[in-house]
Structure formats: structure tokens, C-alpha cells
Amino acid sequence: MRRIAHLDMDAFFASVELLRYPQLKGLPVVIGGGRRSVDDLLLRRFADRPVSQIPVDAFPLLRDYVGRGVITTATYPARQFGVGSAMGMMKAARLCPQAIVLPVDFDEVRRYSRSFKSVIREIAPVVEDRGVDEVYIDFTEVPGGQREGGRVLARLIQKSIFEATGLTCSIGVAPNKLIAKMASEFNKPNGISIVHEADVQAKIWPLPVRKINGIGPKSEEKLHKLHLHTIGDIAAQSREWLVDNFGQAYGAWMHDAAWGRDDRPVVTESEPVSMSRETTFDRDLHAVRDRAELGAIFTDLCTRVAEDLRRKGYVGRTIGIKLRYDDFRTATRDQTLDHYTADPGTIRRAAGQCLKRVDLDQRLRLLGVRVGKLAKADAVPATAPEAPAAPPLAAEHTPDLFHGTQAARDAG
DNA sequence: TCTGGGGTCCTAGGACCC
DNA sequence: TCTGGGGTCCTAGGACCC
């Protein structure tokens, strides 16, 4: 009998911060925002004492937050005010102005991520990564993995993670990934939930459709229009009806999902498909009026993707850009080269070509650069960047960007 | 008050080749 | 002069997830 666990760290980003600032325990704290944070200032101001001694009233509050951005994680006390992840900072500030705001410390989060995952792998080796704070674990072949439906092993993992990191997690164990994912939410935080095949009707069917991993806001809205609100409502429809309304692949999948059927394996290894860097500006920028600023950001994005590729040992063939207009519409353009590259100049030139194919009259709020069709750098025949060599990546050397004049282009 | 940054996968049309 | 399918690759957009 297959036994699959889904493990989800409780309020991971916030919990990592609480380890550093235990004085914030029990308070509403939100993580997110980024650049505008006062965190560094705080540390400098109280450089004379351990961070755990910084007084609570010295921390920055959500009510004082200025800028764009969304909440990455909210502590449970903050959630009581209706604040949750993916919520805009400004909206969160209205709901809970007294919440403390801290920026994401990616290095620290990654460190704890590696740490809790290695604890799990020592106990149960078949682990699938689902981002920094989540994994699927195959209990089926683990000695003792079937005892009490997986509860015994789940408890051991929970305890081992807590002892190694001081962090809590919630675990769902079920016949497959789909149900395990839903089950891990049943007893949050620091909970375990065991679901068997026979429980689907009682425990899964009453849930709202949105709880199915794969049904998002758009599908939820469409389901609601069809008067389907619970997973049981979907299960009550015929496969044919769902296919007629949602298409062959999605409709059939939805039917299976509602009946708790899912035979996807736990995948322990995977290769990246693309790497990208993007940034939302502090204020909307215009291609002509803010040309220099945009040019510098663009160059920086190209440089950073190139660094990411090199650091991880990949090259790519498809170079693309993404931009978001002030009205939140998104446009993408990409171009496939005849050779693989990780060279910042090559990426910059190809991305620059893409930029010329998109409307730049409207103000922009976001710019991104993506490299796709990746291959391992050592698995691909080495190709020199085509002559002439890539120009240096200074803004003044790339006058073709953002409505550069033809004369400037010729000069470049 | 809008709405981050990093991804994956799917769809659909057109090019191009056999 | 009209009429094929099938397969693969490229591109743009969009849904969804963490």
C-alpha cells in the first residue's frame, strides 16, 4: 500500500526570524516587502547587544511601511487579523497596522531549508523538493512507514526536525500526493493528519474546490459559475461533463482529483527548465523618459541571470524578456539562438532584440530576463560567442535599448 | 492601498519538413 | 489545380504553485 507524506513547515520564513528574535514570539509579525526594510538600521542601532535583546518597540511596524510588495509569510497571531501570504503590504497595513515587518533573509531561509531536508532524508530517503518549505516523502518502503497509517514515522520526522532546527512542521500522510497535500493542512500548526482511501468522501468532499492543488482562482470562479463549490460537487459530475466544460486534459484530471485518484510518483531529482531574474521598480518607469535607469536595470538583470547560470553550471538557448505595464498587463518576447550560452553580453544582446519587438509607449512596473532551453554546461559542445565579441555591459555602450536612435545604434 | 520573484506546465497557431 | 496528414520546433500568453 502506497503511503505518501506531504510536509509543510509552519510559517517558515517568519519562524526562521523568530529563532533570531525570540522576543517577538506571540506577536503579529509579517515577512516580506524587501528593499525598503529598516532591518539593517535596527541592527546597527543596537550593535552593542545581542539581537535577542533588541527591545520589541524598536522593530519597524507595518503602519510605517512604504512601497510595493507582498507578504511572504505571516505569523499565526498576524493571521488572526486576516493578513496572509501574497497579500499586498498596503492592504495588510490596513488590517493589522501594529504588526512588525521584517524582510526575507534568503540566506538564512535556505540554510534552514537544507537543514530540515537533510534531517528528513536521513530518515526517509525518497524526498521530492517542492520549494524551500515543502516536500513530499514516500513512506511506502521505509521501515515502519506503514505503522498507524504513517503516524509513527511522521511523529519521528517532526521531532527530529524540531530537535535539529527548533522549527515545527505539519504533515499529512495519505495514499497519494494529492490527498497528502490537503491532509497536511488539516492540523496546522505542528500537526499530523492521516487520511485513508476510505476517508475521501468524509474528509475531502466537503472541502472547497480551491483546496485541490491545481485549481486556482480562475478555475474556482468558473466552477462557482457552474454552481460547483465543494470537491464533492465536482465528484458528482460525470467525466464527460467536466471534459465538455474544462477541456480534455483538465476536465479528466479534475474528475480524478475529486475522486482522490493520483498516481504521480515522488520525484527525487529534476533538471531546471529555465532561470530568470525580474524586478518591480519602486515607481513605474517610462522607456524614453527613464531610459538610463531602465538600461542599467536591464543590464543588471542580464548579468545576474548569467551569474546564476554559471554558478549552477548551465547554459541556455532561448533568451527572453518579460515586462509588466502599469496596468498590470504582461508581455513576453523570446528568441532562440542557434547555440547555447551563459555569456552576459550574448544574453544582453538577444534580450535587447526582444525588447525591440514590444510596445514601449506605456509605463512599466516590471522588467525581467529569462534564459530557457537549458543544458548542463559540460554536456554541450563548447561554442565561442559569435564575432564580433559582445560589447561591454555599460549602459552607454548599449544605446539600442529603449528607443535609442538609429544614429546611436550605428555608433554602437 | 492594489497585486513579489522564482519557477513549471499547457495551449494554440504558424513555420517547416517529410 | 487542388489537396493530404504527421511531427517537431518556435513563440506568446496564461494558469498555477511556493
Q: CATH number of the domain at A49, please.
A: 3.40.1170.60
Nucleotide with smallest C1' distance to residue A271 CA: B8
Does residue A93 sit in the same domain as residue A180? no
The whole-number Å distance from A128's CA to C13's C1' is 29
CA dist A134 and A171 (Å) reads 10
User: Which CA distances in Å does A130 have to A9, A269, A388?
Assistant: 11, 11, 42
Q: Is the per-residue pLDDT at A389 higher than 60?
A: no
Among all protein residues, pick the one whose CA is nearest to the C1' atom of B3. A88
Does residue A88 sit in the same domain as residue A113? no
Question: Considering only A52-61, A89-98, A254-263, A400-409, which range has the smallest mean pLDDT?
Answer: A400-409
Question: Considering only A33-37, A207-211, A327-331, A338-342, which range has the smallest mean pLDDT?
Answer: A33-37
The predicted model scores a pTM of 0.92
Residues of A within the annotated binding site?
8, 133
Answer for A373: CB within 7 Å of strand C: yes
Nucleotide with smallest C1' distance to residue A89 CA: B1
More confident position, A88 or A387: A88
- Please report, rounded to a whole number, the percentage of residues in chain A having pLDDT higher than 70: 91
Active-site residue (options: A108, A134, A220, A293): A134
Q: Is the per-residue pLDDT at A386 higher than 70?
A: no
- A134 a catalytic residue: yes
Does residue A225 sit in the same domain as residue A194? no
Mean pLDDT of chain A: 92
CA dist A390 and A80 (Å) reads 54
Does residue A406 sit in the same domain as residue A279? yes
pLDDT of residue A380: 83
10 Å Cβ neighbour count for A13? 27
Q: Is the per-residue pLDDT at A405 higher than 80?
A: no
pLDDT, tens digit, 9 for 90 and up, residues A99-139:
999 999 999 999 999 999 999 999 999 999 999 999 999 99
Residue A232 belongs to some domain of the structure: yes
Q: Residue A391: left if φ>0, alpha if ψ -120 to 50, beta else—which one? A: beta
Answer for A333: CB within 7 Å of strand C: yes
The whole-number Å distance from A68's CA to C16's C1' is 23
Query: By the 8 A CB rule, do A319 and A371 touch?
Result: yes
Taking the CA atoms of chain A, what radius of gyration do you get in angstroms?
A: 25
More confident position, A34 or A375: A375
The whole-number Å distance from A276's CA to C9's C1' is 22
CATH number for the domain harbouring residue A250? 1.10.150.20
Amino acid at A31: I
Does residue A96 sit in the same domain as residue A114? no
pLDDT of residue A36: 53
Task: Tell me the DSSP string of A20-84.
Answer: H-GGGTTS-EEEE--TT--HHHHHHHTTTS-GGGS-GGGS-BGGG--S--BEEEE-HHHHTTT--
| Helix%, strand%, coil% for chain A, nearest 5 | 40, 20, 35
More confident position, A332 or A65: A332
pLDDT, tens digit, 9 for 90 and up, residues A345-364:
999 999 999 999 999 999 99
Residue A233 belongs to some domain of the structure: yes
Instruction: Find the mean pLDDT for residues A302-306.
Output: 98
Residue A231 belongs to some domain of the structure: yes
Does residue A323 sit in the same domain as residue A404? yes
Does residue A399 sit in the same domain as residue A341? yes
Residue A266 belongs to some domain of the structure: no
The domain in which residue A240 lies consists of 208-258
> First CA to last CA across chain A, in angstroms?
66
Q: Predicted confidence band at A47 (pLDDT cuts at 50, 70, 90)?
A: confident
Q: Is the per-residue pLDDT at A301 higher than 70?
A: yes
Strand B bases near protein CB (under 7 Å) are: 1-12
Q: Is the per-residue pLDDT at A384 higher than 60?
A: no
Residue A395 belongs to some domain of the structure: yes
Answer for A45: CB within 7 Å of strand B: no
pLDDT of residue A385: 52
Answer for A87: CB within 7 Å of strand B: no
pLDDT of residue A37: 54
Does residue A161 sit in the same domain as residue A96? no
Q: Which cell numbers hold the place of A30? A: 509579517
Does residue A68 sit in the same domain as residue A195? no
Q: Is the per-residue pLDDT at A141 higher than 50?
A: yes
